[in-house]
Structure 1
Amino acid sequence: MGIQVWFIVLGVGAMTLIVWDGKRRRLKQRALSAAGISHNAHAAGSAPIPDLPFEAMLPPEADTPTATLPVNIECISGGSRIGSATHILGKVIADEPVLIKGRLEGTLIAPNHPVSVTASGHVASYIEGSCVDIDGYMVGTLKANTKATLLSRARLQGVVEAPRLECKAGAWLQIDVAQAASRQSVAMVS
């Protein structure tokens, strides 16, 4: 085969991938609207969520790696686990600890138990738990009844409501911090 034929084959292949990606995006939008979740959905009383994909909110990579050791939050014994190949659209209410390794687009409420999002976890919209540890990506409202911990690989954009907030070096934040009666606007990058 000549070089021209190879270019034609590559062009047709690239166009096919572009069409498939467009169809996948349309199906995802239909699934979101069928589940009653708009792409800009947010919890009542919280700040609106920017219309950005998780990948668009990543901070620029640092030239030097962080010196902090990764914290293992996968040591929750028992409870519910959302695996890395799982994508949930909708509302989850749990009366046990929850570990998120996959994607959750919607609401997670476990007010009396710890909630953890691992480095591979992606959450959009709302999380509520007694202690919430984030090491992955989150866009939306995080409500911790006792303490919120943002670990070194955390990428968080939205609102944090917690009586105590711990932020490890390396976490990337663009948040509003809300306490019981007052709400302060804060944007931090570390």
Structure 2
Amino acid sequence: MIGPSIHIKGTVSGGEDLLIQGKVEGTIDLGDHEVSVGQSGKVTADIKAKIVKIEGEVAGDVTGSEKVVIAKSGRVRGNIIAPRVTLEDGAIFKGSIDMDPGDTRTAQSPPKVEKPAATAGDASKQSPGLDLKHG
């Protein structure tokens, strides 16, 4: 926990969950853990974590590999990237949200579908004596 009277400048990384009640400037990278910004927390940093919960203020991009939650008391100025995003009623947010950070190949080009050579519906285009239904 980073208490209300603590001010950190630089990179925060580690192998456990983190609760921020003070001030952090720089970057926060706790990829497989949870970062919570408490009501008194003021973060000017990009945040990367499994789960990010914001009740205080964040200025920076927020990336959650599982989800990002902005509580009603939360204020975020920055972009959010996460498969699941929750903005509670009353939350303040300015930025963009990307909820599909996964495979970009499927978003760029739809799969190719081959058309069959001839179907019963195409009988009108065939010669008049050919009946595709009965051989």
Common fold: TM-score over 0.5 = yes
Corresponding residue number in structure 1 for 2:37 = 117
**Structure 1, gaps ≥5 residues long:** 1-80, 183-190
Larger Rg: 2
| Percent identity of paired positions between Structure 1 and Structure 2 | 32
Higher strand share: 2
What does the per-residue CA deviation read over 1:104-129, in whole Å, with 9 as the maximum and x for residues that have no partner? Answer: 00101111111100010001121111
Work out which of the residue numbers 45, 58, 61 in structure 2 matches 1:141. Answer: 61
Code of the aligned partner of 1:144: G
| 1:1-190 alignment runs, 5 A limit | 81-178=1-98, 179-180=100-101, 181=104
- How many residue pairs were aligned? 102
Taking the aligned partners of 1:137 and 1:171, their CA distance within structure 2 comes to: 10
TM-score by length of 1: 0.52
1:64 is matched with none
Mapped partners of 2:51, 2:69: distance in 1: 8
Q: Distance in 2 between matches of 1:133 and 1:113?
A: 11
Q: Which runs of 4+ in 1 moved over 2 A?
A: none
Q: 2:20 is matched by which residue type in structure 1?
A: I
Hey, what's the Cα distance between the residues in 1 that align with 2:45 and 2:32? 19
Unaligned runs of 5+ in 2: 108-135
TM-score (norm 2): 0.73
